Amino acid sequence: MGYYSSFEVVETDIPDILEVLTNFEEQYSWGSPGWEQYDGQVRGYDCAKWYGWLTDLQQLAYAYPNNFLIILRYGEESPDMSRAIVKNGTVIEQFPNISWPE
């Protein structure tokens, strides 16, 4: 049994990011969710078992070393979430700090 996540582009300066992600998905056979633009937001149109998302995004970082991209990942079990920052030819995954107020 696999683990599903949904993905959403938060911010980028890569022109035509929807087309870029779709082309990369086809070229590298990503297990990504497929991409759509809705209300000006680019996101995966389905949850996916995209286990190698950080490795795959590294290919995008190599292709666009002077651009940046921030993608959020929401796992199927709350509060599993992280974001990938693609910038300067590298990919970094960050996790939020979740805390209760005192």
Q: Give pLDDT tens digits for 21-73.
A: 988 887 766 666 788 888 888 988 888 888 888 998 999 999 999 999 999 99
Mean pLDDT, range 94-99, rounded to an integer: 91
pLDDT at 1 over 50: no
CATH number belonging to domain 5-94? 3.30.70
pTM for this entry: 0.85
CA distances from 101 to 19, 28, 35 (A): 42, 44, 36
pLDDT of the residue at 30 = 62
Mean pLDDT, range 8-25, rounded to an integer: 92
Distance CA 94, CA 74 (A): 12
Domain ranges within the chain, ordered by starting residue: 5-94
